[in-house]
Amino acid sequence: MATLRTTRELFRQAREPFPGPRRAWDLALWSGVTPQGSADSLERLNRLGLVEVFPSARAGHAPSFRLDRTYPLVEPLARLFEAERVLGRQSST
């Protein structure tokens, strides 16, 4: 469940006006996942190639992550999460 929520949040962040790399801790706050759960999910997604990693310029600080737009499943996943968002909005009205 943590990986799904973290992935969904990465896609939501990518739609923001200024999308940029996000730390696991930040994604955890927005997705409702524990920071460790988010970090583990991002590591898994990195091994799959879905995210890019940006090491911190400061020693001892956490790396940041963002979607790798060249990953073959980014567009289908984006459509899935968009449909989910639209349907969720319709059912709440």
> Which pairs with CB-CB distance under 8 Å and at least 24 residues apart come from 54-57?
54/21
Residue 10 has a pLDDT of 93
Cβ-based neighbour number of residue 33 at 10 Å: 22
Q: What are phi and psi of 16, to 5 degrees?
A: -65, 160
What is the rounded CA–CA span in Å between residue 24 and residue 56?
Answer: 12
Is residue 10 within 8 A of residue 46, CB to CB? The reply is: no
Structural domain that includes position 57: 2-91
CATH for 84: 1.10.10.10
Q: How many structural domains is the chain composed of?
A: 1
Block means of pLDDT (10 residues each) for the chain, 93 residues, are 93 86 93 95 96 88 92 94 85 67
Residue 7 has a pLDDT of 94
Residue 41 has a pLDDT of 96
Residue 60 has a pLDDT of 78
Is residue 55 within 8 A of residue 17, CB to CB? The reply is: no
